[in-house]
Amino acid sequence: MSAPVFLKGNEALLRSAILAGCRAFFGYPITPASEITEAAAYWMPLVGGVFLQAESEVAAINMVYGAAATGTRVMTASSGPGISLMQEGFSYLAGAELPCVIADITRGGPGLGNISPEQSDYFQVVKGGGHGCYRNLVLAPASVQEMADLTVLAFELADRYRNPVVVMADGCIGQMMEPVVLPKAVSEREPPSWAVMATAATRRNLITSIHLLNDDLERHNRALEAKYRRAQIEARWENWRTEDADFILMGYGIVGRVLKAVTERLRKKGVKAGLLRPITLFPFPTEEIRRLRDQVKGFLVVEMSTGQMVEDVRLAVEGVRPVEFYSRLGGNVPTAEEITDYALSMAPQSARQEERLWMAMF
Amino acid sequence: MDGYVLAQARSQCFYPRFERKPESPESTHYCPGCGHGILHKLIARVLDEFGVQDRTVFVSPVGCSVFAYYYFDLGHVQAAHGRASAVATAIKRTRPDSVVLCYQGDGDLAAIGTAEILHAANRGEPFTVFFVNNAIYGMTGGQAAPTTPLAAVSTTTPYGRSALNDGYPLKMAELLASLEAPVYVERVALGNGKQITAAWRAIRTAIDVQRRGLGFSFIEVLSPCPTVWKLTPVEAQKRVRDELTKVFPLGVKCDRRRQTVPRSQPPAALPADQVEVLLRGAEAEGEWPHPLACQPVDVRLKIAGFGGQGIQLLGEVIAQAGMYAGLHVSWLPSYGPEMRSGTSNASVRLSTNEVDSPVVSRPTHLIALNEPSLRKFLASVEPGGMVFYNNESFPTDCVRSDLELVAVPFTQQADRLGDPRVANMVALGAWLERVPCLPDGALELALKAHVKSESLIALNREAIQQGRLLCAQRRYRT
């Protein structure tokens, strides 16, 4: 194993992308994702890749579309407001089945919001903010090492499923520094057979998302649907002290890290807590939640949003167990202390029981 | 066929039968008298002549020509409405040997895609754009285009286009020719045989500009749309000649072929093994980790002060030194608006065990480089923790009896060393004196990673040393 280097999450993500064979980057600066674009501007020319600062996120995502169409491993990076602008491109990329990687280093919204970390992009990224029945595959790193590892995985999944893959990390994970072992460089891959590469062999290839006849478009959508079903096997998560847990904490990204500390604190207070941290948000670890559901008394979901992932948890739990929710907003990262206090306040006789029952009915 | 000389055969760039078309594969979907069919033929003829069929990529827009792939036997990428120039940019850049033809209508290029075409032209992207201007939205049934002439009636200008309400017809050829990068910009028309021949010449020039690697070329084509104009094909051509050319004058708008040198080929891709050396490379020089002599470590450090006091650098150096010392570490900046002004703080974790949360909400140690930071974070320090404050003493109303309080004037000492910027290193020295968890070798490696010049490293070392001494001399309160 090679020695770790001490890197920012954003820098680790971009370097890993290049090591994974990414040779084109089109982006528009935005805090807290700009280091990715800056790193691409620095590294791409050195490896013979393409870097272009686009005139907008709209242009950037459509450049990603163009490069993906030629069979090039390509990515862009942005944050909430820019990701909103890119939704058109997401839809076309998914419709034309083009592989690419998008990094979303999330910040606070709505509107201009602020540049501090929130997790409020879950709906637009995981559920699909563009038009049509498509899904993004979504990976949620919780450390600088995962920024590296999941970026490599993102390129693999993008190719395997011919679909956009989003690496969605909150501003904390993008901005923090940790030791990271960067991945090995992938050797040159075979260009995909469907790509339009300006060669005789690929001249008859066509990249489009238009299917004029109703039956054609229905067939296309059924094929996409089947693909997303196939992709369910890619669900990944981290279990931490769940074996004997009575009580499951759930959170992704930076919250997943904080919840480890919460688990420890609760255990010290005699509460058998465990952590289930989704690593993929689509596909969602629904099966794992169902498995744990039968073992535990309840769930506590913590997000830096007013409750986005919690909807998927409730769908998975199917009302069989209470699913509690705790959140901080505006760039405030919930502390281990406040979450622990909240969790301890959830004793059955607490005054909030009525509200909990109401919530469980969702 | 004996006795005949074939003057014009169907271009080999067209499919013999239009199999991709759902119905009637013998004919196109274009209306009789439509300009697209003529323009398709002219383009195909030039591609035949240059022999570039295999390496041509056709980028089609949203509009009637979205189905250009039914007809052209070329590589095809269909773009979102208005984004053809952005898509073409990336195709050309990732396949520099390709011939990229970007085919856009007036709504696509001059309305929704104005930003994309303007910037592609301004970057001088070396592809060719065909801008089909028929002054109306054809496919969607006759709404106004940015190029609709004044007073012209459309379904969205039922009383005629008004300059006050709708602005003026946008002259894209002139607009783009005003930029410095485009090599060739011309406006042509399909109003009669003569104009069509001139159009063919312009197309030939434009694709030649690309073939020779000169740069951006742009042909605006005034094109008839008899169906939506509600005219016969003959009347429609007459309208192109008599009316449209008055609003949009024909001619070469810019020609920089002579003063342009062909672009050099982009550098070749670096082999994977060299990429690996480059990217995973020389970050960590020297021998490490430095095994720790001290007890198990679980430091949750908060460093805070004004922006510009080197708060974040101090955090990075401590965390990186921790890594070289074989500890689990993390550094998390407050990267918010503080970055620009006001206060700044960093969370650093150093631990013998894996770091759970990098967010330090209950620090075991606080280094406060100014009073507002001390006031902000003092209450959060874990009982039994330590506070290092940048002054001779603590404010009397800002103390806690359950903490070890160390007051050392870091900035004053840094001033004495001749550089107030090393106050952070004086603080580091003071902290290390009380929390000896980082061996010198690890610290040295971390300093070298952040400070490039040897003289500055020496100054930093000195500052750390002074910080240690000052802290050792001081009586601290508990």
**Residue B50, Cα to own-chain centre: how many angstroms?**
34
Q: Which amino acid is at B283?
A: E
Are A178 and A283 contained in the same domain? no
Separation CA A210–CA A216 (nearest Å): 9
Contact A264/B at CB under 8 A: yes
Decide if pLDDT at A333 tops 80.
yes
What confidence tens digit (pLDDT) does each residue in A265-277 have? Answer: 999 999 999 999 9
Contact B76 A178 (CB under 8 A): no
B285 — pLDDT class (breaks 50, 70, 90): low
Q: Which tokens hold the place of B231?
A: 């005219």
**Residue B335, Cα to own-chain centre: how many angstroms?**
21
Separation CA B240–CA B236 (nearest Å): 6
Q: Which of B54, B94, B284 sits opposite A72 (nearest CB)?
A: B94
Q: What is the 3-state secondary structure (H, E, C) of A184-243?
A: CCCCCCCCCCCCCCCCCCCCCCEECCCCCCHHHHHHHHHHHHHHHHHHHHHCCEEEECCC
Scanning every residue of chain A, which has its alpha carbon at the shortest distance from the alpha carbon of B355? Answer: A257
The torsion region of residue B363 among left (phi > 0), alpha (psi -120 to 50) and beta comes to beta
Chain B hits for A65, Cβ within 8 Å: 77, 79-80, 83, 86-87, 90
CATH architecture for residues B35-255: 3-Layer(aba) Sandwich (3.40)
What confidence tens digit (pLDDT) does each residue in B322-342 have? Answer: 999 999 999 999 866 545 557
Decide if pLDDT at A351 tops 80.
no
Contact B344/A at CB under 8 A: no
- What is the torsional sign of CA B451, B456, B457, B463? negative
What confidence tens digit (pLDDT) does each residue in A304-316 have? Answer: 999 999 999 999 9
Q: Which tokens hold the place of B10?
A: 């169907």
Chain B hits for A66, Cβ within 8 Å: 59, 77, 79, 86-91, 94
Separation CA B263–CA B314 (nearest Å): 46
- Angle CA(B20)–CA(B21)–CA(B26) in degrees, nearest 5? 110
Across the range B225-249, mean pLDDT stands at 97
Domain that holds residue A196: 5-233
Are A135 and A107 contained in the same domain? yes
Contact B257, B211 (CB under 8 A): no
What confidence tens digit (pLDDT) does each residue in B149-176 have? Answer: 999 999 999 999 999 999 999 999 999 9
Contact B75 A197 (CB under 8 A): yes
What confidence tens digit (pLDDT) does each residue in A76-133 have? Answer: 999 999 999 999 999 999 999 999 999 999 999 999 999 999 999 999 999 989 999 9
**Residue A300, Cα to own-chain centre: how many angstroms?**
20
CATH number assigned to the domain comprising residue A295: 3.40.50.920
- What's chain A's length in residues? 362
Q: Which of B77, B80, B118 sits opposite A196 (nearest CB)?
A: B77
Task: Specify the pLDDT at position A128.
Answer: 83
Q: Which amino acid is at B465?
A: Q
Contact B330, B272 (CB under 8 A): no
Task: Specify the pLDDT at position B478.
Answer: 43
DSSP labels for A146-192? HHHHHHHHHHHHHHHHTSEEEEEEEHHHHH-EEEE-PPPPPPPPPPP
Contact A19, A188 (CB under 8 A): no
Contact B268/A at CB under 8 A: yes
CATH number assigned to the domain comprising residue A24: 3.40.50.970
Contact A164/B at CB under 8 A: no
Contact B77 A32 (CB under 8 A): no
Separation CA A62–CA B83 (nearest Å): 6
- pLDDT higher for B328 or B476? B328
Last residue of a domain, one of A206, A233, A260: A233
Contact B86 A96 (CB under 8 A): no
CA A186 to chain B, closest CA, distance in angstroms equals 7
Task: Specify the pLDDT at position B97.
Answer: 96
Cβ pairs bridging A and B (under 8 Å): 243
Last residue of a domain, one of A178, A210, A233: A233
pTM of the model: 0.95
Are A101 and A125 contained in the same domain? yes
For residue A88, count other CB atoms closer than 10 A to its CB.
20
Contact B286/A at CB under 8 A: no
Across the range B290-310, mean pLDDT stands at 83
Domain ranges of chain B: 35-255, 290-473
Among A252-261, B301-310, B469-478, which range has the highest average pLDDT?
A252-261
- Tell me the CATH number of domain B290-473, given options 3.30.360.10, 3.40.50.300, 3.40.1410.10, 3.40.920.10: 3.40.920.10
Q: Which residues of B368-403 are buried (b: 16+ CB within 10 A; e: fewer)?
A: bbbeebbebbbeebbeebbbbbbbeebeeeeeeeeb
User: Which A residues in the span 124-163 are in contact with B, Cβ-Cβ below 8 Å?
Assistant: none
Separation CA A281–CA A276 (nearest Å): 12
Contact B98 A198 (CB under 8 A): yes
Q: Which amino acid is at B70?
A: Y
What confidence tens digit (pLDDT) does each residue in A275-331 have? Answer: 999 999 999 999 999 999 999 999 999 999 999 999 999 999 999 999 999 999 999
Contact A182 B279 (CB under 8 A): yes
Contact B263/A at CB under 8 A: no
What is the residue-averaged pLDDT of chain A? 94
Which residue, among B329, B432, B320, has the nearest Cα to B461 in the 3D structure?
A: B432
Chain B hits for A331, Cβ within 8 Å: 336
Alpha helices in B51-187 (DSSP H): 84-94, 106-107, 114-123, 163-166, 172-177
Task: Specify the pLDDT at position B266.
Answer: 83
Across the range B396-404, mean pLDDT stands at 94
Contact B289, B443 (CB under 8 A): no
Across the range A159-179, mean pLDDT stands at 97
Are A217 and A273 contained in the same domain? no
Contact A2/B at CB under 8 A: yes
Across the range B341-347, mean pLDDT stands at 83
Which residue, among B393, B369, B395, B399, has the nearest Cα to B381 in the 3D structure?
A: B399
Are A229 and A245 contained in the same domain? no
Beta-carbon contacts of A269 under 8 Å, excluding residues fewer than 6 positions away, are A340, A344
Q: Which tokens hold the place of B386?
A: 């330590």
User: Which B residues in the span 39-68 are in contact with A, Cβ-Cβ below 8 Å?
Assistant: 53-57, 59, 66
Instruction: Find the range with the poorest average confidence among B136-150, B262-276, B450-464.
Output: B262-276
Q: Give the phi and the psi of residue B100 in degrees, each rounded to 5.
A: -105, 125
Are A126 and A261 contained in the same domain? no
E runs forming strands in B48-98:
56-60, 75-78
Number of domains in chain A: 2
DSSP labels for B251-267? EEEEE-TTT-PPPPPPP
Task: Specify the pLDDT at position A14.
Answer: 98
CA A95 to chain B, closest CA, distance in angstroms equals 11
Are A254 and A168 contained in the same domain? no
Separation CA B279–CA B298 (nearest Å): 31
Alpha helices in B64-107 (DSSP H): 84-94, 106-107
- Angle CA(A215)–CA(A218)–CA(A219) in degrees, nearest 5? 85
- What's chain B's length in residues? 478
CA B243 to chain A, closest CA, distance in angstroms equals 34
What confidence tens digit (pLDDT) does each residue in B349-375 have? Answer: 999 998 988 999 999 999 999 999 999
CA A174 to chain B, closest CA, distance in angstroms equals 10
Task: Specify the pLDDT at position B377.
Answer: 96
Decide if pLDDT at B386 tops 60.
yes
What is the residue-averaged pLDDT of chain B? 93
A233 — pLDDT class (breaks 50, 70, 90): very high
Across the range A219-230, mean pLDDT stands at 98
Chain A hits for B449, Cβ within 8 Å: 6
Among A20-34, A180-194, A339-353, which range has the highest average pLDDT?
A20-34
Last residue of a domain, one of A197, A215, A233: A233
Q: Which of A26, A69, A187 sits opposite B77 (nearest CB)?
A: A69
Are A165 and A312 contained in the same domain? no
Global ipTM: 0.95
Task: Specify the pLDDT at position B35.
Answer: 97
Contact B94 A205 (CB under 8 A): no
Contact B127, B92 (CB under 8 A): yes
Contact B98, B92 (CB under 8 A): yes
What confidence tens digit (pLDDT) does each residue in B90-108 have? Answer: 999 999 999 999 999 999 9
Across the range B282-309, mean pLDDT stands at 75
